[in-house]
Structure 1
């Protein structure tokens, strides 16, 4: 019995189910601070196809999830307010089918992930650098959100 529990736990780490033998692809989104772009990408993929993918996000540095990212996603009916910013260090040893960088800085600074089958780079502008009043900055977050949504919709449809 203990051996079966161990095998089930190990297969979950690999994104597999012993019952059906089907693998669930594991996706990791990376950006610099894990505060906006990677958080929005994680939220969208969970919403679009969370039943088909195991998804996480992380950053090269840790801050907090940006309040305007939370607002922009809420406009799409996706709640990321419970997400926490984290660094990729704790996720290095996990097996990933896709490691997707969503900013140029993370693409340059991201180390190789052992066992990552595919590494993709999707460059999105950093909405946290937007200036102006809150409405102007929110408008930038919306544009980046929409670009991420479009790219992910295309990617999910091709899977």
Structure 2
């Protein structure tokens, strides 16, 4: 794992007390689901699959690898597709990831967390896109809009809700980078808690 990213994770591990008890209850429910599966598959879902669901996909994959749970497969999707937002991409770079952008309207970013491992492929898509599993997965709703507007997720055997505040609210303001970094850090912290409880 890249040294900068490893340092970031060490700091996140030390901050577990920042997670509220109510959040921990929801995260442990997902951990219980994972524990019962031979090959757990998680799809993180928000409206546009541009920010929070990507943070969750990336950090859940990295934290699963970090604690030795490489059987877990993580994905993301939206109720509609746009693109992995460049502000969110910038935030993961600041956290220590290396990112390749092939260009295009909806780029398939290659997100590296370790020089010896395959990158995560991150791009915006609907949750039912062929790139994602079509059955036997947990649907994890990361925003309240997607949770309310998508009451049924075809193929999901379990559904969980762990909504996050949308960092989009700060777009175009002086607080933009700080807000995205806070969102990235919160999700990293909670995904570490989740995977360390499996």
- Scaled to the shorter chain, the TM-score interval is 0.7 to 0.9
Stretch deviating more after TM superposition (109-118 or 141-150): 109-118
1:89 to 125, 128, 131: 128
Structure index of larger Rg: 1
State the TM-score, normalizing by the size of structure 1: 0.76
Q: Is the CA contact (8 Å cut-off) linking 1:95 and 1:115 kept in structure 2?
A: yes
Structure 2 CA distance for partners of 1:89 and 1:97, relative to 1, 3 Å: closer
Match of 2:26 in 1: none
> What is the alpha-carbon distance in structure 1 between the residues aligned to residue 156 and residue 71 of structure 2?
18
TM-score using structure 2 length: 0.62
Distance 1:128 1:52, change over 3 A: same
The secondary structure found in structure 1 opposite 2:175 is helix
Q: Distance in 1 between matches of 2:44 and 2:142?
A: 7
Q: Structure 1 unaligned runs (5+)? A: 1-21
**What is the aligned-residue RMSD (CA, Å)?**
2.1
**Which protein, 1 or 2, shows the higher relative CO under an 8 Å CA cutoff with sep ≥ 6?**
2
- CA shift in 2, pair 1:114/1:120, >3 Å: same
Task: Name the structure with the higher strand share.
Answer: 2
Q: Report the alpha carbon displacement of residue 115 of structure 1 after superposing the two structures with TM.
A: 4.5
Alignment counterpart, residue 189 of structure 2, candidates 132, 138, 150: 150
Q: What is aligned with 1:12?
A: none
Does the 8 Å contact 1:93/1:114 carry over to 2? no
Structure 1 position 140 matched with structure 2 position 140: no
Number of residue pairs the alignment of both structures matches? 137
